[in-house]
Structure 1
Amino acid sequence: MISGQSVFFLSILIFVAAFSGSLLRADAEIIDPTRVTQLSWNPRAFLYKGFLSDEECEHLKVLAKDKLEKSMVADNDSGKSVMSEVRTSSGMFLEKHQDEIVGRIEARIAAWTFLPEENGESIQILHYENGEKYEPHYDYFHDKNNQALGGHRIATVLMYLSNIKKGGETVFPDSNDKLAQPKDDSWSDCAKKGYAVKPEKGDALLFFSLHPDATTDSKSLHGSCPVIEGEKWSATKWIHVRSFDGPQNIEGGDCIDENELCPKWAAVGECSRNPLYMVGSNSSRGFCRMSCSACLVSE
């Protein structure tokens, strides 16, 4: 029997082969390996030039503009979403396959990464104004509660939806290649502290939070440098080891909590602040439906 780690390693081998042009998924006109550059092996990071069209970028921004809220971070101990000065952007989550364009982008991400669509979270749209940033952090989890839902995040696809005059770079402070990257005065001081990527509208950055043996990669530490001139829009897709959509058929009905912390989260307002996770949508079921009173308990 093939182990879970072996399957993971095999998927990475297939993924790497795609960049040599030896393998492509369907829709070859959409996935173009010649636009992909390997940026780093420690961490493993790749840049796809022109992954999104200008029209797709603008469409995602329009979907988000009137729904932005203060961004949250996951508490390392409880896994609960909390506010923090570590992250000062505003953001919102789209629904999976919210419309035809969103669905097409999600399918393109799955084709590029060779990771199943059901393993991905909903796309998060983020907006950074002058001075706003996200301090260096890991996308894999430190708490067991978040790991129980889909396992660790394998990979992150970060799509840039706008150009920015200065600042706003994605930086990897612990990258082995940080000293080899030349930087002039067009880079922010923050970007000079690691290997950095300038946000350019339509480009997509893919990096892995786990090694091929499924252990966490400490080199994947990354952050969003403060915006100095302009404003930054981005869209993030986090992809997990297992399905993130949740169980579809559970004996005893739908009115259950999938996490023991659901009552506490509901009590502090997470049902309204984080409805996709707590309550769910048409495409995926929430994990705290009972605590959010999103269903009727069977008598």
Structure 2
Amino acid sequence: MKSGQAISPELREWVAAQLAAGHSVPSLRASMRAAGWHDDAADAALQGIEMQAAAGVAVEPPSARMPGPDLSVSPLYVDAGDRRVQVLQTMQLPRVIVFGDLLSDDECEGLIAAARQRLARSLTVETQTGGEALNVDRTSDGMFFERGENAIVAQLERRIAALLRWPVEFGEGLQVLRYAPGAQYRPHYDYFDPGEPGTPTILRRGGQRVATLVMYLHEPEQGGATSFPDVGLEVAPKRGTGVFFSYDRPDPATRTLHGGAPVLAGEKWVATKWLREREFT
């Protein structure tokens, strides 16, 4: 790759704008080569776009605004309104932030108690139809809270909105999952594949997912880490902490492939908040 030239969001916006103007992917690759970009850099910038274009899927520029805390001065703590949250670890690509002391023990216990009575085998979004279905890659039990369903959920949603600077209304309902020994969720992406036939139906409810926050409510004795295999990162499921990651386009180039490693002993409970581009209805 040409020295000093990163594949930035601005470059991808330029690529998307040129495609929208009617230029072909091969012509863009030729233009980048003429401007001094090496082949591997051009391929990285165009990754995923050529496949979408061939499938007739509209390619739109990534959103300039993304959820996330202000870390411009490398703070050790971030004000989340009603709580001071620790910044334990950060990564740029993928954009990952590990938060400490995000939930109190009482909040963790309260969410588990409220969720326990409604657990069922976890479903995943079915992008073929836009509905939900069982997935052999996901072996947890789970349930969803409606936004603001009870006092703990409403308080946590306000805290997340303040921490990540993203409106409460742009969030899906909070999902709580229980992983028994042996349960896992194999590596996957959280965004909705633009090439799948059910995706337009899903996007009507609030646009694409742009970020995920996984919060650990109960830690297992062994196993259960959240892994990012593309970058060799594992986040230990410590109670009260959370791992946030964002993805500015529905593309593997975001490197947000992630999974829940098998629980080897004990139980793992997590709460997940997915954030959309706009109000989720």
Partner residue in 2 for 1:65? 116
Change (3 A) 1:145 1:19: farther
Deviation at 1:165, TM superposition (A): 1.3
- 1:51–1:203 CA contact under 8 A, matched in 2: yes
- The reply on whether 1:202 has 2:240 as its aligned counterpart is yes
Aligned counterpart for 1:140 among listed residues 181, 186, 191: 191
* Cα deviation code 1:133-155 (max 9, x no counterpart): 11111110022221222111111
Query: 145, 149, 156: which one pairs with 1:105?
Result: 156
CA–CA distance in structure 2, aligned partners of residues 70 and 110 of structure 1? 29
- The CA distance in 1 between the partners of 2:80 and 2:103, in whole Å, is 17
More strand by share: 2
Q: Is the 8 A contact 2:214 2:270 kept in 1?
A: yes
Give 3-state SS (helix, strand or coil) of 2:128's partner.
coil
Match 2:224 to one of 159, 164, 168: 168
The TM-score with structure 2 as length reference comes to: 0.71
Moved over 3 A (4+): 3-6, 14-26, 214-218
Give how far 1:77 is off: 2.0
Task: Give the aligned partner of residue 54 of structure 1.
Answer: 105
Percent same amino acid at aligned positions? 36
SS at structure 1 position matched to 2:116: helix
Q: Hey, what's the Cα distance between the residues in 2 that align with 1:103 and 1:19?
A: 29
Q: Deviations over 1:58-112 (max 9, x none)?
A: 0000001111011011223222211121111000011211222211100000111
> Is 1:140–1:216's contact at 8 Å kept on the other side of the alignment?
no
Task: Work out whether 1:131 is the aligned partner of 2:186.
Answer: no
Deviations 1:208-235 (A, max 9, x none): 1325xx8664410111111101100000
The structure 2 residue matched to 1:156, chosen from 205, 212, 216, is 212
For 2:129 and 2:120, how far apart are their aligned partners in 1? 22
Shift of 1:197: 0.6
- In the other structure, the counterpart of 1:9 is 64
- Structure-2 residue corresponding to 1:290: none
Whole-Å Cα distance in 1 between the matches of residues 78 and 69 of structure 2? 9
With 202-211 and 18-27 compared, the bigger mean Cα shift is at: 18-27
Give the aligned length: 218
Distance 1:42 1:115 in 2: 20
Aligned to 1:181: none
What CA distance in whole angstroms lies between the structure 2 residues aligned with 1:90 and 1:238? Answer: 18
Is the CA contact (8 Å cut-off) linking 2:122 and 2:134 kept in structure 1?
Answer: yes
Distance change (3 Å), C-alpha of 1:216 and 1:136: closer
Alignment root-mean-square deviation, CA: 2.6
1:117 to 1:19, Cα distance in 2 relative to 1, 3 A: farther
**One-letter amino acid of the structure 2 residue matched with residue 20 of structure 1:** S
Q: What stretches of structure 1 of length at least 5 have no aligned partner?
A: 179-194, 246-299
Q: 1:221 corresponds to which residue?
A: 257
Q: Are the structure 2 counterparts of residues 209 and 11 from structure 1 closer, same or farther at C-alpha, using a change threshold of 3 Å? A: closer
